[in-house]
Amino acid sequence: MSNTQSALRALFLSKYESFRRRLRLRLGSEDLADDALHDAWLKLQGLSETGSIDYPSAYLFRMAVNAAEDQRRGQARLLSVDEVEALYDMADELAGGQAGDVLDPSRIAAGRAEIQELERALDELPPRRRAIVIAARVEELPHRDIALRFGISVRMVEKELRAGLKHCCAKLERNYVQRFGPGAGRTS
């Protein structure tokens, strides 16, 4: 083990609580902060030779932030328990009769009306915000790819997406639930 690696590990351990506090504030969750620090520690343990690092504390914190971002990306594609249950309920309702039964025309009409409302809500958004919402939710692109597409930061993508989703939820009279970051899990 090189001196640089030993020094990084020692610094990580000495600044652990400071990193944890900063991550908790940044991510909005103590559990996410702990998981990110754990992943960063494991990455640090498996780190091969490193060159000179000018700002070791910033390097270690960035390592933990990157670990959190990797976790967020992996979880972003997962549905919540409530969403899975809603899909099962919808499937049960649609499959409610025998094979060949006709779907309830009022449900079809209500679904079409809701889609039209969503389209109107999307049309009310500024062009870039609308494109970001569609890229994230329809095309399922990662935030980093969207940021590259529009030449903006990932943070700006997240702000635009949040604003677009809040607008659409308000127009559809639905609650907006944030799934990551400060305020995660709370409806607005």
pLDDT in tens, 125-137: 999 999 999 898 8
Q: Could you tell me if 55 and 18 lie in one domain?
A: yes
Per-residue pLDDT reduced to its tens digit, 63-100: 888 888 887 776 655 555 666 666 666 665 655 544 44
Please give the pLDDT value at position 186: 43
HEC sequence for 128-163: HHHHHHHHHHCCCCCHHHHHHHHCCCHHHHHHHHHH
Domain end among 76, 100, 120: 76
Domain boundaries, position 44: 3-76
Core vs surface per residue 9-43: b (16+ CB within 10 A) or e: bebbeeeeeebbeebbebbbbeebbebbbebbbee
Residue 185 domain-assigned? no
Q: Give the pLDDT of residue 188.
A: 39
CATH number at residue 132: 1.10.10.10
Task: Extract the residue ranges of the chain whose pLDDT is less than 70.
Answer: 1-2, 49-50, 74-103, 177-188
Q: What pLDDT is stored for residue 152 in this prediction?
A: 92
Same-domain pairing of 160 and 95? yes
